[in-house]
Amino acid sequence: MSEPAAQPVPPALPVTFRPTRTRAVLLSVGLVMFTTITAIAVLLERLNPGERISFVFIAALLTSVLVLLSRPKVVADEGGVTVVNLTTKRRLEWAQILRVNLRPGDPWVFLDLNDGTSLPALGIQPGVAKAQAIGDARALRALAEARGTGANDR
């Protein structure tokens, strides 16, 4: 008879999961892009003040899109989980999370909730750092099983 697989040890709380490499790239590109477009607006002598302002406005708009894309994260604390996606933020109690899923080919983690819905958690995504995302998903799963009702429902 073989030994049962050891359950992963949940991380200490509070813990924040986010795609750090993707975030660093997006914010760096946004800063370089804003600086470059603004410098072009200042250096081009043929532009009138209105055109210069429109250059800077477009640079700020494009940079804000990249900042928005870098926003996703999942924050776990004693009371539950806060899922911050691109434009939404949702607070969940541990008891609301039945299962944490990251299947092969999934673009990010999905949380199965006790109301029958599934919530995407874009803060854990295997795109650039697959190993980190898998580790983060396992850690969040261990937390949900230790603190929520997911382990009791099976």
Q: Are residues 49 and 109 in the same domain?
A: no
Q: pLDDT band for 149, please (50, 70, 90 cuts).
A: low
Q: Which residue has the higher pLDDT, 83 or 1?
A: 83
Average pLDDT over residues 30-43: 97
pLDDT score, position 152 = 46
- State whether 140 and 86 are in the same domain: yes
State the burial class of residue 81 (Cβ atoms within 10 Å of its Cβ: 0-12, 13-18, 19+).
buried
Last residue of a domain, one of 37, 69, 101: 69
Domain for residue 130, yes or no? yes
The stretch 82-101 carries a mean pLDDT of 96
Q: Are 42 and 59 spatial neighbours (Cβ–Cβ below 8 Å)?
A: no
21 forms bridges with which residues in the sheet?
Answer: none
| pLDDT for the residue 103 | 92
Distance CA 142, CA 138 (A): 6
Tell me, yes or no, whether 82 and 33 share the same domain: no
- What is the distance of C-alpha 59 from the center of its chain? 24
The pLDDT of residue 148 is: 78
Shared domain check, 65 and 42:
yes
Q: What range does the domain containing 138 cover?
A: 73-147
Q: What is the mean pLDDT of residues 133-150?
A: 89
One domain, residues 83 and 139: yes
Residue at 61 is within a domain: yes
